[in-house]
């Protein structure tokens, strides 16, 4: 282990959690506000992190580097298997790196249409493990978009798109709405109230 990482505690040996010891990438003018971590493979972390400017994709790893955000949103598909993996990840609070805060759960629909009742009930139970839950519907255009690095980007404070602007020039409306809600919740939960810092 290099001297740069000597101050980090050892990663738990259980194999249930993995830690990302490198800093999260800065892909825009500011460092990431929050990390999106998958509860399982193909959860959608890369896609949503590419479309939200304040996000960074940590794959299946907890962000363990003290120099970048440790505010984490766990992402899972809205399936029984995806929810079970999310519950396992969320219950492993004693294995997360020091300083990490789980801020919410992002559930991404696994198919078009309504979520089956059993899955909706289980999703409600799993969501009780976190302060916030964010649901993303099935977004068909994302299925045919070949390059995640070329997805449109939502930035907090973006003006509403013009009437003639549509995919793929702008993010789907629900992506922007959920991104805005995440940023508002993080601001409310992690900044002092009455936060006029002028």
Query: Confidence class of residue 94 from pLDDT cuts 50, 70 and 90?
Result: confident
Q: Could you tell me the residue range of the domain that residue 146 belongs to?
A: 3-188
State pLDDT tens for residues 132-153.
999 999 999 888 877 777 899 9
The count of structural domains within the chain is 1
Alpha-carbon distances of 94 from 77, 105, 126, 196, rounded to whole Å: 24, 18, 17, 35
Which among 148, 147, 150, 152 is positioned nearest to 169, based on CA atoms?
Answer: 152
Give a yes or no: residue 39 inside a domain. yes
Give a yes or no: residue 61 inside a domain. yes
Give a yes or no: residue 197 inside a domain. no
Give a yes or no: residue 198 inside a domain. no
| Residue 125: per-residue pLDDT | 98
Give a yes or no: residue 135 inside a domain. yes
Examine the pLDDT at 93 and tell me if it is beyond 80.
no
pTM of the model: 0.87
Count of residues for the chain?
Answer: 198
State pLDDT tens for residues 170-184.
899 999 999 999 999
């Amino acid at each position: 282990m290099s001297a740069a990482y000597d101050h980090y505690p050892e990663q738990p040996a259980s194999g249930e959690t993995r830690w990302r010891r490198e800093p999260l990438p800065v892909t825009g003018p500011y460092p990431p506000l929050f990390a999106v971590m998958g509860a399982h493979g193909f959860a959608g972390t890369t896609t949503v992190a590419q479309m939200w400017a304040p996000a960074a994709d940590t794959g299946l790893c907890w962000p363990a580097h003290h120099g970048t955000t440790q505010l984490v949103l766990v992402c899972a598909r809205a399936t029984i298997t995806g929810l079970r993996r999310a519950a396992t990840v969320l219950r492993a609070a004693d294995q997360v790196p020091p300083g990490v805060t789980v801020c919410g759960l992002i559930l991404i629909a696994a198919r078009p249409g309504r979520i089956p009742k059993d899955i909706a009930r289980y999703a409600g139970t799993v969501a009780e493990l976190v302060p916030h839950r964010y649901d993303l519907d099935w977004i068909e255009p994302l299925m045919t978009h070949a390059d995640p690095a070329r997805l449109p980007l939502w930035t907090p404070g973006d003006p509403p798109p013009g009437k003639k602007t549509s995919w793929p020039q702008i993010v789907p409306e629900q992506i922007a709405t959920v991104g805005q809600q995440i940023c508002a919740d993080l601001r409310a939960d992690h900044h002092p109230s009455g936060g006029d810092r002028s």
